[in-house]
Amino acid sequence: MRAFDLHRPAIQTTAVVFASPHSGSAYPEAFLRRIVLDPLAVRSSEDAFVDRLFARAPSLGAPLLTARVPRAYVDLNRAAEELDPALVEGVQRPTHNPRISSGLGVIPRVVANGRAIYRGKIGLDEAQDRLALCWRPYHEALRAVLAETHAQFGQTILIDCHSMPHEAIEASGVVGGPRPDVVLGDRFGAAAALEIMEGVEAAFKSAGLRVARNMPFAGAYVTQQYGRPARRAHAVQVEIDRSLYMDEARIEPHGGFDAFAALLAGVIAEIAKLGRPAGGAELPVAAE
């Protein structure tokens, strides 16, 4: 199976690279036959339609890497070593890792709300095959496009695009105050320079969206691995409230999807400017 799609601009004009590791929905038939969840329940851990929300990035001069493989099959925002001994035969119990303990390792044991995906365990050979066929190709492609971008622009700004269940936002913000529409994560400054984080935040706020930083989502493997601000390699995780554009129960875009995607196109354009050399040309936006 093809693990990802890489959408390149006709001419790359910015050091910004967008990626969506959790929006994949190409479920292998053999996988669907063996799991205990129905087809809708297994999709609950997807960042459904996030790839479509950021689809305008290439027309604005920025590469866009989107997963095809679903998160329930292999989680591209985890380290390859984060294998769960409660799911994978022959794996040694690791030192404490809250992601693995909760069933959300690189081969997830559960989906949203802790619902088990399988009955019993899977073999280590199967887990390793998934990593070889899906995880490694995605990260090889991401590393390659980041290296090319850094060579061209002298820096990279990786925007790792995600969505969050509306209920997850209840854990963030000031008690009694408005909840954020977007949560930005830079691992509390370890993954991106302050001016980059401020620029990304300003892009969302200028569109009228409420923004929080690092709570409750500070970033996971991708931001930790690719965010090296001292080397001018920045990574910011973006979590968007799913209720803004989709029916979470049915996993379908709702009537406001197109309007929100249009709003987000303006945000993408502003973020792209952060990685454009001073005085750099901006690509014309293609007509819809």
Summarised one tens digit per residue, pLDDT across range 49-101 is 999 999 999 999 999 999 999 999 999 999 999 999 999 998 887 677 889 98
> What is the pLDDT, as a whole number, of residue 286?
40
Give buried/exposed letters for 208-230 (b at 16+ CB in 10 A, else e).
ebbbbbbebbbbbbbbbbbbebe
DSSP string, 196-219: HHHHHHHHHHTTT--EEESSS---
Neighbour count for residue 287 (Cβ, 10 Å):
5
86 domain-assigned: no
CA gap 285, 275 in Å, rounded: 17
Q: Is 42 inside any structural domain?
A: yes
- For residue 69, give the nearest of 100, 35, 126, 107 by alpha carbon: 107
CA distance 33 to 27: 10
Give the structural domain span for 227: 4-74+126-274
% helix, strand, coil for the chain, step of 5: 35, 15, 50
Instruction: Report if residue 104 sits inside a domain.
Output: no
Q: Look at residue 111 and tell me if it is in a domain.
A: no
pLDDT at residue 122, as a whole number = 94
Read off the tokens for 95: 């030192």
Average pLDDT of the segment spanning 140-154: 98
CATH number for position 210: 3.40.630.40
| Residue pLDDT, tens place only, 156-212 | 999 999 999 988 776 555 455 678 999 999 999 999 999 999 999 999 999 999 999
Looking at residue 287, what is its pLDDT?
35
Residue pair 54/161 in contact by the 8 Å Cβ criterion: yes
In this structure, is residue 63 part of a structural domain? yes
Domain count, the chain: 1
Calculate what percentage of the chain has a pLDDT beyond 90: 84
For every residue of 238-263, DSSP letters joined together read EEEEGGGTEETTTTEE-TTHHHHHHH
Task: Flag whether 192 is in a domain.
Answer: yes
> Which residue has better confidence, 283 or 130?
130
Residue 242 has pLDDT above 70, yes or no: yes
Q: Are strands 246-247 and 252-253 parallel, antiparallel or unpaired?
A: antiparallel
